[in-house]
Amino acid sequence: MNLNQKLPARFFEFDSWIWEFSTLYKLPWKLIKAQVWQESGFDPNAVSSCGAVGLMQLMPETAKEMAQGAGGKEQGEIKLFDPETNLALGVNYDRWLFDRFPEIPNEEERMKFALAAYNGGRGYVNKAIEISYDCEFGCEIPPGHKGSAPGRWQTWCHTSAYLCSPYCVIKNLETGKTLKPDYRQILDYVDHIWEKYEFIRLQTLKVMNS
């Protein structure tokens, strides 16, 4: 990305809340800012074609689950267009996903797996991990991924390639249909967020050195 490019109109507007909730959930705030940029372009009124809402493009059902976990069911139902609420629930969801991948020891790598799950669903990411492990060691990954051998499967650049495997499928329990991931979308999502993350970090250094 060009360091001299024009920034989105509301680029700095939500920094205090992004920092607050990133600090609360112990995630890098500049990375969360990059995710908000990717998701909505800092537009709190954004609504996607599939019904995702607000700064972090939360699906209403996901927001309800996160709000229940935070003891605030009602806010998840009625305030998704409110930037503070959307960020609170979205970063909470980021942390929840991050904690679902304890088998990935490096925190930056784990964040990439979590972002992929945020975009495409945890089921596909877990399936890619299983395939990657099997290809590397010639055996299935242990149940719950506990006691698994360390290896290349713990890096996003290696395991993400298996999202396009014909074996990377999950079954819809309601319909019985076999579903495949939109792997190109997932890969681009993680890549674009990381590009924006590097841009934000470099912008910070540029300001500090000016």
108 and 94 part of one domain? no
Token pair in block for residue 40: 């909505």
**What is the reported pLDDT for 67?**
87
115 and 145 part of one domain? yes
108 and 210 part of one domain? yes
163 and 198 part of one domain? yes
Question: Nearest Cα to 118, choosing from 203, 35, 17?
Answer: 35
Catalytic residue flag (residue 103): no
Q: What are the per-10-residue average pLDDT scores of the chain (210 residues)?
A: 80 97 98 98 96 96 84 56 96 97 98 98 97 98 95 98 97 92 98 96 70
204 and 147 part of one domain? yes
**What is the reported pLDDT for 195?**
96
| Containing structural domain, residue 85 | 10-99
3-state secondary structure of 8: coil
Specify the pTM.
Answer: 0.92
**What is the reported pLDDT for 124?**
98
48 and 81 part of one domain? yes
**What is the reported pLDDT for 68?**
82
Cα 114 vs. chain centroid, distance in angstroms?
Answer: 5
Q: Cα separation of 179 and 120, whole Å?
A: 12
Q: Cα separation of 101 and 80, whole Å?
A: 27
**What is the reported pLDDT for 73?**
45
The phi, psi pair for 106, rounded to 5°, reads: -75, 125
CA dist 133 → 61, 143, 151, 184 (Å): 32, 12, 8, 21
Catalytic residue among 20, 39, 77, 109: 39
